[in-house]
Amino acid sequence: MQLPHERGPVSRHVIESLRSDRPGAAFFALGPDDVIGDEDVQLALWTIYELHYRGFHGVDDDREWDLGLLTLRREIESRFESELRAVTRELVTGVPQHGDLGQQLLDLVAADDGPSLAAFLQRRASIEQLRDFLRERSVQQLKESDPQSFVLPRLDGRAKAALAELQYDEYGGGRPERLHATLYADALSAAGLDATYGAYIDHVTGVSLTLCNVVSMFGLNRRLRGASMGHLAAFEASSSVPSRKIAGGLERVGLPPAVAAYFHEHVEADAVHEHVASSDICGTMVAEDPGLRDDVLFGAAACLHLDALSGAELLERWTTGLEKAS
Amino acid sequence: MSDVVVRQCPGGPLLVRGAETVLDDDGNVHEVTRPVVAVCACGKSSRKPWCDSTHKSIPSTR
């Protein structure tokens, strides 16, 4: 993958540093604005994270451990996490201290009243809006499940076995053509879009980058393993029904079956995964280490909060008719 | 595969581990292609025998 195009001073700093052969990016002080949804800061963070996944053409693999970039990453992450904790505090503290955590996670998702992107995609979206949706999600879905794989060595026993079981399904159950990321690439191609990893990095919004980065932040910091698994539980539990609706919308506008196939797969897979993630993974983790409870709930609430932000952003773009041609 | 383990999720499907096939109401054989599958327990799924989360759209009886 090529390095992305800069979107402001922070991403420029990161990208210029990676273009240079000299390791050791200089110190960079962030401005005072919120980082959630900020396309410049989120692109900078995404670029630093990508060094841990696939890297960039022409950039030395060893830059993954560039101390200057790691220092900037920690500064962005610190702000990102604080902002997320602040906006989710009410939701997290509203969950009773006692009770079945797996069920509490499912109830948290069921009670969510964020804007229904799926209902719009099912009934009203044009073919171009559905393609726009596929593009916006492509940055995260083409590395679907990879961020959670970083958590596997940090778990043990029943929670580890359950995460491995879930990931094995996400990774196609031994069939490379059934890798969920590959199914997403097939959907993009069938919709006439570019299925290359990172193809739309310069196109997607700051909120879409934020959605992608939150799972990397949770997955790459062992301290946040509870949040990573809580996010996974909420993500899976808010996927099965919406996937059915989105598949219906894709079929309504006449896109080829391979596009809807990705979403049909998630109707069934995520009906399983939500229970595995909420009870077998999160329930077990918290039973063994009650100190992880608040972080699990934080991760779930962060998922719901950012999904709602993204839903509102895309619905506004599509319903005000101001969508830029692509 | 040796033991088949079934767990009832409260208000939700049956999680089945270790099965190679599942029979539906009409006796049709459905091959299990996942490490764990969710079998419909509310009777309303449009993809029986598999759960499609339709139970979330109907009033809870828990």
Average pLDDT, chain A: 95
**pLDDT at res. A169:** 95
Q: Contact, A318 vs A132, CB < 8 A?
A: yes
Q: Flag whether pLDDT at B60 surpasses 70.
A: no
Please compute the mean of the pLDDT values over residues A26-34 and round it to a whole number.
87
**pLDDT at res. A10:** 96
**pLDDT at res. A40:** 97
**pLDDT at res. A26:** 80
The residues near B49 (Cβ < 8 Å, ≥ 6 apart) are: B22, B23, B24, B25, B30, B39, B40
Q: Flag whether pLDDT at A214 surpasses 80.
A: yes
From chain B, pick out residues whose CB is under 8 angstroms from the CB of A103: 10
Give the DSSP per-residue string, A246-315: HHHHHHHTT--HHHHHHHHHHHHHHHHHHHIIIIIIIIHHHHH-GGGHHHHHHHHHHHHHHHHHHHHHHH
Q: Flag whether pLDDT at A202 surpasses 70.
A: yes
3-state DSSP assignment of residue A229: helix
Q: Which residue in B10, B33, B52 is closest to A267 by CB distance?
A: B52
pLDDT tens, residue by residue, A140-171? 999 999 999 999 999 999 999 999 999 999 99
**pLDDT at res. B59:** 66
Environment class of A253 (CB within 10 Å of its CB; exposed 0-12, middle 13-18, buried 19+): middle
From chain A, pick out residues whose CB is under 8 angstroms from the CB of B36: 165, 169, 272, 276
Q: Any idea where the domains of chain B sit in the sequence?
A: 5-57
Classify residue B7 by its DSSP letter: E
ipTM of the complex: 0.87
Please compute the mean of the pLDDT values over residues A18-23 and round it to a whole number.
89
From chain B, pick out residues whose CB is under 8 angstroms from the CB of A271: 13, 38, 50-53
Distance from CA of A226 to the nearest CA of B (A): 22
Comparing A257-261, A313-317, A318-322, which segment has the lowest mean pLDDT?
A318-322
**pLDDT at res. A230:** 98
pLDDT tens, residue by residue, B5-39? 999 998 899 999 999 999 988 899 999 999 999 99
CATH code of A99-319, in short, is 1.20.910.10
Q: Which residue in A110, A240, A272 is closest to B15 by CB distance?
A: A272
Distance from CA of B7 to the nearest CA of A (A): 10
pLDDT tens, residue by residue, A215-231? 999 999 999 999 999 99
Residue type, position A302, single letter: A
**pLDDT at res. B2:** 65
**pLDDT at res. A229:** 98
Domain with CATH 1.20.910.10 in chain A: 99-319
State whether B47 and A272 contact (CB < 8 Å).
no
CA distances from A131 to A30, A197, A257, A322, A323 (A): 34, 16, 14, 16, 12
CA distance A295 to A84: 12
